[in-house]
């Protein structure tokens, strides 16, 4: 069986090449003159209804459940628009945004202020009203499934097996509503490569196709070496190959591994390490408790926080953006790259290094 690689068509939203569309912002980053971020990851909730063993933010389960206050649900969308931000991703960096009682309001206001909206979510706690708001206002949504059957889903997410059925019902409802109303929403079934479920990748792709989603994304997870050792690379390749055989003109399979090291032509599960961090001013992250952090992968590190928009006010973000304080934070991050377990934006950094930086380092003359 032949593995068709990462994708059939390189021009897709999962390819890090898309960073080339932000060339002006990149050139300004290298000069130490930051434009507003292209995208803000806005976490609405600190807390989750799942207990995923692989979750890199698992230690946050001990923190008090927190949601973004109503005041900021109403004011952040206009602020982002006025600042020049192009998109907002409502993600699960510190929890699941489906648990916010005003998720539909946040979606409506972000859409009103002309921001492209993306969502990353487990997909369980949805009413039809919220699903319809997602369809009407969002550009894409990724369901964190990570399994292709009920038993594996229960194992990797720490939830009852019937949660799998409920999420599939939500996906199918959303896909049908999107098609019926001719909406541009892109729906993805996302699958992390995990030792307790990777053997169900092909079945997951088949199920994803049957529910009407457009994209099936497979990618490695952040795992300790002991867990990676439980994954048989040959069996993994076979599963991914079977998934790729399901590609059609309306269903696309993406096995995202360009951010990981290859050895003798074979994909490994070892993440590439960066020599220099460039990409953080392109994509900013705001946590549910208000921290504005430079790097999403260092969300729990104290040397990563620029300000707190809930405590300090939204205007404080614009005041400190691109200042010596901001540059100093990035410089400190570059001095601690050995602490980075992974790099979400490894592809961006690699492209910036080779196509724009030409051996330069961030201009720190302002310090």
* Alpha helical stretches, state H, 3-147: 23-30, 70-83, 103-112, 128-137
- Among 1-5, 25-29, 147-151, 269-273, the range scoring the smallest mean pLDDT is 1-5
Name residues whose C-beta falls within 8 Å of residue 123's C-beta, 6 or more positions apart in sequence.
98, 143, 144, 145, 167, 170, 171
pLDDT at 17 over 50: yes
pLDDT tens per residue, range 308-354: 999 999 999 999 999 999 999 999 888 888 777 677 787 788 888 88
Indicate yes or no: pTM above 0.95. no
Number of neighbours of residue 131 by Cβ within 10 angstroms: 20
Bin 343: left if φ > 0, else alpha if -120 < ψ < 50, else beta. Answer: beta
Average of per-residue pLDDT values in the chain: 87
What CA–CA distance (Å, rounded) separates 209 from 142?
Answer: 14
Residue 1's pLDDT is 34
pLDDT tens per residue, range 185-194: 999 999 999 9
pLDDT tens per residue, range 60-114: 667 778 899 999 999 999 999 999 999 999 986 667 899 999 999 999 999 999 9
Phi/psi at 364 (nearest 5 deg)? -110, 25
DSSP states along 123-167: --S--HHHHHHHHHH-SEEEEE---SSHHHHHHHHTS-THHHHHH
- Is the model more confident about 10 or about 41? 41
- From 274, 322, 315, select the one nearest 298 (Cα to Cα): 274
Residue 265's pLDDT is 56
- Is the model more confident about 293 or about 91? 293
Residue 75's pLDDT is 98
Select, from the ranges 61-70, 151-160, 300-309, the one with the highest average predicted confidence (pLDDT): 151-160
Residue 359's pLDDT is 57
């Amino acid at each position: 069986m032949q593995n068709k690689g990462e994708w059939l068509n390189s021009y897709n939203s999962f390819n890090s090449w898309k960073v080339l569309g932000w060339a002006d912002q990149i050139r300004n980053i290298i000069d130490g003159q930051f434009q507003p971020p292209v995208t803000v990851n806005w976490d609405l909730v600190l807390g989750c209804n799942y207990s995923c063993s692989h979750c890199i933010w698992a230690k946050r389960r001990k923190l008090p459940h927190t949601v973004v206050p109503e005041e900021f649900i109403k004011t952040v969308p206009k602020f982002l628009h006025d600042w020049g931000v192009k998109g907002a991703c409502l993600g699960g960096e510190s929890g699941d945004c489906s648990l916010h009682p005003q998720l539909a309001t946040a979606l409506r206001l972000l859409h009103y202020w002309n921001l492209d909206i993306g969502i990353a979510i487990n997909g369980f706690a949805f009413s039809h009203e919220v699903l319809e708001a997602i369809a009407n206002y969002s550009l894409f949504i990724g369901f964190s499934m990570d399994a292709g059957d009920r038993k594996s889903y229960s194992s990797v997410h720490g939830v009852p097996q019937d949660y799998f059925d409920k999420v599939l019902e939500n996906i199918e409802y959303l896909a049908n509503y999107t098609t019926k109303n001719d909406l541009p929403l892109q729906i993805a079934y996302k699958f992390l490569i995990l030792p307790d479920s990777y053997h169900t990748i092909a079945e997951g792709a088949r199920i994803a196709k049957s529910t009407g989603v457009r994209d099936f994304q497979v990618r490695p997870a952040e795992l300790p070496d002991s867990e990676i050792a439980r994954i048989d690379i040959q069996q993994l390749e076979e599963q991914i190959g079977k998934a790729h055989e399901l590609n059609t003109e309306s269903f696309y399979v993406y096995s995202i591994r360009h951010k990981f090291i290859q050895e003798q032509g074979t994909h490994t599960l070892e993440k590439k390490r960066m020599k220099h961090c460039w990409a953080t001013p392109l994509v900013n992250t705001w946590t549910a408790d208000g921290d504005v952090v430079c790097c999403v992968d260092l969300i729990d590190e104290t040397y990563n926080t620029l300000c707190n928009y809930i405590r300090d006010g939204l205007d404080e973000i614009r005041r400190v953006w691109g200042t010596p304080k901001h540059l100093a934070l990035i410089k400190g991050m570059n001095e601690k790259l050995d602490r980075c377990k992974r790099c979400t934006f490894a592809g961006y950094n690699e492209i910036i290094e080779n196509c724009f930086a030409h051996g330069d380092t961030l201009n720190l003359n302002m310090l």
